[in-house]
Chains A and B, each alone.
Chain A
Amino acid sequence: MKKGLTSGLVLLVLGLIAGLLLGVVNAVTAPIIAQNELREKLTALEVFYPDIKTAYDVTEVVVGENGIESIFVLKAKGTDTIVAAVYGVAQMGYKSEVSMLIAVRANGSVEGYAFIGTGGTEGLGLVLNDIDFGMTDAPVGDETSFDAVAGASVTSGGVLACFEAVAARIAAEGLGV
């Protein structure tokens, strides 16, 4: 009994020291890792804004509601004016989720969009980035501008749902919130 208790105590002390040490290292590395991750995401957003790293102050808002995963809010450098917001959004497509980035200007029109993951079957479903859905420059929730691909396994419904989710979010909370 006493032996078992001693062994447990040894492990407990060791665990505490190890935890403390890990906490210290984490405190040093976590901000750097977060910075690296943000830089990587910003590189992905350069598709829409090539000068994103120099001309804008970018903050990431994690949402996790109604398919909106995160919002990157772009403010003009050194100001509080929201210039645009890029929405990371995912909706159910034909076979699985369609994840995409939708960049919306301050006036609510679409700057551009890109697909991260596609929910279509093989063939057209895998080449979503090559398809023009007609939404660039259109108001984000404008279904009449949406050019669905008919008769193919590509998941137009999922793509449209992504635009609708972003439009609903902007209508409810405003741009970038």
Chain B
Amino acid sequence: MDDLNTLREDLMTAVGAAADSAALEETRITALGKKGRITALMKGLGGMDPDQRKQMGQALNALKGEVADAIEARKAEIENAEIDAGLEDDRVDVTLPVRPETEGRIHPISQTIDEIVAILGEMGFAVAEGPDIEDDWHNFTALNIPPDHPARQEHDTFYLPGEKDGERMVLRTHTSPVQIRTMQSGEPPFRIIVPGRTYRCDYDATHSPMFHQVEGLVVDKTTHMGHLKGCLIEFCRAFFDLDDLPVRFRASYFPFTEPSAEVDIGCTRDDGQFRIGHGDDWLEILGCGMVNPKVLENCGIDPEVYQGFAFGMGVERLAMLKYGIPDLRTFYESDLRWLKHYGFAALDVPSMVGGLGR
């Protein structure tokens, strides 16, 4: 038995002295391996008488368990020490910059159109479209702008060499021809909006040869000017996110609407600082009116039965006002610094339930 005590002491000392995993493993083999000292004693049990075997067996098993536990404990100690040592080696300067990722942007024109669609979509408008290259009939004549009409001259139209059914091809000067295409190809009622590119042969600080409009058209049997006001007042207040935004309608003229109106929103220009909202000034933002009976007739719709309203607004203008973008021309320059500044994140998808903006 004394031998076992000595063996225990030897082995425990060796376990305690093992400095790393390899030394500990060596100790384990020395003690518990196939040719280990405890294993050897175990093998000797067979030659003993039963009593002695029982006594010795119990003592050896106890020793074996004790040594194995000590090795496990030492192993955990060594591993922890090794991890700790490794941590020190792994240390980095966490102030270094992360790996580069480029952040993309959505153009303010796209974002503004998405916002307009989100609001008017809630009112039951669906998006319709038409070609950028139109013919005179769709762009003018059908909209009650005959060839000799002064309004036609004021449109600064881009012309293309072709003709269709004797009508000159033009770049559409407004999104209104889509009213005509929609009414010709379907049956009332209609409730559509038309975002799209439009073109005028004009270039200066406040005019671009290409810009964007959103047209609106409602045709049914009952919609009147009160609805027109309701629709656009609610639109303006939602778009600018101002519940009490003053909106006024004043008489105007468009060949394709009768009665016609221009819509102003309230603003202030105190101390040269422009702000939308309650104030002593007004700013024109869109034109609208009840669809001229002649336009309905031109599309084969009976104006004695059907009526409705139409409106048109400039997307860039709305974006400039809402987001404080000072210069129209910068929209098309693709200056990445501008796009990063005025653009929107990919996941900023406007909706009425989720909000139009972050």
Do they bind each other?
no
